[in-house]
Amino acid sequence: MLKKTKKYLIPALAVFAVLTIVDMVIHNVLMKDLYLANSNLFRPMAEIKKHCCCFMLANLIFSVAFCYIYSKGHEKKDSIVQGIRFAAWMILLITVPFTIVSYTIYPHPKNLELTWLLAYSVEMLLAGITVAMVFPKIK
């Protein structure tokens, strides 16, 4: 039981760490001005900060699911290309459709949605590379 838990937990924690760090850079640094320019479309910052544990919970759930799905289809070789390929499929499965639906429903400007699409695609690729690097090393 411990061996099986370790097999999923360590890669999930690595992906969680990557997502958390990349999210901070994306949202607090790279997109800060874009968010300020469109602040009327979001909750006030104080309210967002009050709910920041929801971001962590979402990243944790995503990390566990992402690594579990990866584990079911990965080949037994160490390959970053495999992680990139997996991430590309996840981008097509999750990121692209979500961005299209979000743009259709919410009054976000196109440049905000396109920036999210690009940022989350890069983040997904980094998650794929991370799981591909960590997963084969777990015995």
Q: What is the mean pLDDT of each run of 10 residues along the chain (139 residues)?
A: 74 96 95 93 90 94 94 80 95 96 94 96 97 79
Number of domains in the chain: 1
- For the chain, give the number of residues: 139
Q: Which domain holds residue 24?
A: 2-137
> Helices 80-90 and 52-73 sit at what angle, rounded to 10 degrees?
120
Structure tokens at 34: 């874009």
Q: Model-level pTM greater than 0.85?
A: yes
Our CA angle for 135, 25, 138, nearest 5°, is: 10
Q: What is the C-alpha to C-alpha distance for residues 16 and 63, in angstroms, rounded to an integer?
A: 5
Tokens of 90: 């996840």
Q: Which residues, including other chains, have CB under 8 Å from residue 104's CB and lie 6 or more apart?
A: none
